[in-house]
Amino acid sequence: MEENTRLAQGRRGDSVEIDLGELLFELWVNKWELLLATVFGGLLAFFLSACVMTPKYTSVTSLYVLAQQDNETITTADLTVGAQLTNDYAILVTSRPVLEQTIAELGLDMTTEELGKLIHVENETNTRILKISVSYTDPLLVRRIADSLRNAVGEQIVSVMNIDAVNTVEEASLPTEPSEPGILRNTLIGLALGFFLSAGFLVIRNLLDDTVKTAEDVEHYLGLPVLGTIPDSKSKDISKAKV
């Protein structure tokens, strides 16, 4: 009883000693368990990405906003102001009138909120070019949505911002391959998660294991000298001995 109390006190001391070498050895001993968990994580992620998740296609279109000029000379200040205003133009892409016009033109069975979630707008640094990306499950429809959005937002920018013209830089592309899900990316993430979760489990199991396995454990946790050991006849590893 006294020895058990002293062992518990040794295990629950103010400081917890972590033997890095012991943890690495624990991982090495259970390397097959670690490998199986890693492979399982990768296969699960691959299966979900390839067979469960719905593929999405992305179509990209871009336009150039030409501000009104009193003269034909364009200064650096004009370009700076124009680039700043492009951020305002980007907001108009997902404005309600533009989304409603696109839905009505294409006869889409979705709300403006649902359509807005499919759209991503980028503004290249120090330019007046707006890049509009639309992601959806139908590659043909996603191109039509992108083109319709570009035309609708062009009209809205001219009307609201009193802009001279909005020119098309690039018409919407027809995607041939899904942009989502990224099967390779998800598989690599699954492999990493499988490895780290399995390794974390093995480390925690080792840290919570308070059984005495070696003579060194007796001396370290109980403070008692070991006079001798009796090999466990059922164990092939002599180091695992009964004290």
- Of 142, 170, 198, which marks where a domain is finished? 170
Whether 157 has a pLDDT exceeding 70, the answer reads yes
Q: What is the C-alpha to C-alpha distance for residues 215 and 111, in angstroms, rounded to an integer?
A: 72
pLDDT above 70: percentage of residues in the chain: 68
Based on the fold, state whether residues 117 and 150 are members of the same structural domain: yes
Based on the fold, state whether residues 160 and 79 are members of the same structural domain: yes
The overall average pLDDT reported for the chain is: 76
* Structural domain for 47, as ranges: 14-52+185-208
pLDDT at 10 (0 to 100): 47
> Residue 151 domain-assigned?
yes
pLDDT at 103 (0 to 100): 92
Based on the fold, state whether residues 45 and 62 are members of the same structural domain: no
Mean pLDDT (whole number) for 174-191: 84
> Residue 83 domain-assigned?
yes
- In terms of Cα–Cα distance, which of 191, 142, 174, 178 is closest to 50? 178
What's 90's domain CATH number?
3.30.70.1130
Task: Encode pLDDT of 102-145 as tens digits.
Answer: 999 999 888 989 998 999 888 776 677 888 899 988 889 999 99
- The whole model's pTM is what? 0.60
pLDDT at 215 (0 to 100): 65
Whether 23 has a pLDDT exceeding 50, the answer reads yes
Check residues 144 and 203 and name the one with the higher pLDDT.
144
Domain count, the chain: 2
> Residue 219 domain-assigned?
no
